[in-house]
Structure 1
Amino acid sequence: MTGTTSDSRRSVPRRLRDHVGAVGLAYLGVCAVLLIWALAVTAGESTDASMAGVIPLLATAPASLVLLVLPDYSAMFITAIALGAAVNTAIIGWCTRALRRGGRPEH
Structure 2
Amino acid sequence: MRTTNSARSAGRTVPADRLLAGMYLSLCIALTVWSVVDGFFVTHSDASFAGIFPLIATAPVSFLVLILPEGSMVGYLVSMTVGALINTWLVYRLVGALRSRMTRLVRADSTPHEQAGR
TM-score (norm 1): 0.73
Q: How does 1:7-18 map to 2 (within 5 A)?
A: none
Q: Which one of 17, 24, 28 corresponds to residue 27 of structure 1?
A: 24
Match of residue 108 from structure 2 = none
User: Runs of 5+ in structure 1 lacking a partner?
Assistant: 1-16
Match of residue 76 from structure 1 = 75
Question: Runs of 4 or more off by more than 3 Å in structure 1?
Answer: none
Q: Which one of 45, 56, 59 corresponds to residue 58 of structure 1?
A: 56
Distance 1:48 1:61, change over 3 A: farther
Q: How many residues align?
A: 88
Q: Deviations over 1:3-57 (max 9, x none)?
A: xxxxxxxxxxxxxx87x51100110000000001001111121247531100100
Q: Deviations over 1:57-102 (max 9, x none)?
A: 0010011001111123101000010011011001101111101110
Larger fraction in helix = 1
CA RMSD of aligned residues (A): 2.1
* Structure index of larger Rg: 2
Please give the secondary structure, in 1, of the residue aligned with 2:49: helix
User: Runs of 5+ in structure 2 lacking a partner?
Assistant: 1-13, 105-118
Q: Percent identity at matched positions?
A: 32
Match of residue 84 from structure 2 = 85
Match of residue 36 from structure 1 = 33
TM-score (norm 2): 0.67
